[in-house]
Amino acid sequence: MTLSGDDIILFTLLGIRINATIFFTWIVMALLAGTAWLVTRRVRPDQPPSRWRTALEVIVQGIEGQIEEVTGRRAPHLLYFAGTLFLFVAASNLLLVVPGFHPPTASLSTTTALALSVLIAVPLFGITSRGLIGYLRTYTQPSIVMLPFNLITEISRAVSLAIRLYGNIMSGAVIAAILLSVAPFFLPVVMDMLGLLTGMIQAYIFAILATVYIASATAPPPPGKELQ
């Protein structure tokens, strides 16, 4: 029983072995980019929006609304980053119902890469918002003694994001595989529905946690702290 696509080598490209995780990651990226291009390629102000454009706008506005609820302010820079994370994880999990599809999020390498992107994005957004000195000062608050603990906290966030996403997707795949071997006729439909629900919840949680971490790094300092 193969649950992750890391060990499935599909073909070799320029001497590099391409496994199922990498291949299906490209598939998800191509689907997202292609869908966005097809929906927006004929956008004109003098034409009413199409059905697909309306659906896309509802998704974007929904993501933007969730970000505003978390941060308490408009944050277009977070919309692009957190929205992309949500759409990628959600699309990867939703495509699980396609026979033969190995979701990239069921691979620890993919979830680690997503978590590392959040780990890198937090200081980048923080430096852009507060400046280099202002951001580095947050690691020494409320005292310089807290510096190593704050650094450990940043690293543990990335580790927890990767393990949480990977564990939930893998656990669902294991349960589905076991139940499928016991009752292969009726349970697949139920497990597919549960998998879709779980996948959307995990995409939402991952994007929200990334938004919370970045929002805390970009939040303006308390009154009086900016001069210290």
Report the number of distinct structural domains present in the chain. 1
Q: Is 22 a domain residue?
A: yes
Q: Mean per-residue pLDDT for 41-62?
A: 80
Q: Is 153 a domain residue?
A: yes
Q: Is 166 a domain residue?
A: yes
26, pLDDT greater than 90: yes
Q: Is 227 a domain residue?
A: no
Convert the pLDDT of each residue in 34-44 to its tens digit.
Answer: 998 888 877 77
The CA distances from residue 129 to 5, 67, 122, 133, 212, in Å, are 39, 17, 11, 11, 15
Q: Is 105 a domain residue?
A: yes
Q: Which of 14-28, 63-77, 153-167, 210-224 has the highest mean pLDDT?
A: 14-28
Contact 150, 200 (CB under 8 A): no
97, pLDDT greater than 70: yes
pLDDT score for 184: 56
Q: List the single range of 74-78, 120-124, 173-177, 210-214 with lowest mean pLDDT.
A: 173-177
Q: Is 226 a domain residue?
A: no
pLDDT score for 175: 60
Q: Is 147 a domain residue?
A: yes
Q: Is 228 a domain residue?
A: no
Convert the pLDDT of each residue in 117-165 to its tens digit.
Answer: 888 888 888 888 888 888 888 888 777 888 888 888 877 877 777 777 7
| Sign of the alpha-carbon torsion through 166, 122, 203, 37 | negative
Which range marks the domain in which residue 139 is found?
5-218
Sequence-distant (6+) residues with CB within 8 A of 187 are 179, 180
Q: Long-range contacts of range 66-73, CB-CB < 8 Å, 24 or more positions apart?
A: 66/207, 66/208, 66/211, 67/211, 70/208, 70/211, 70/212, 70/215, 71/211, 71/215, 71/219
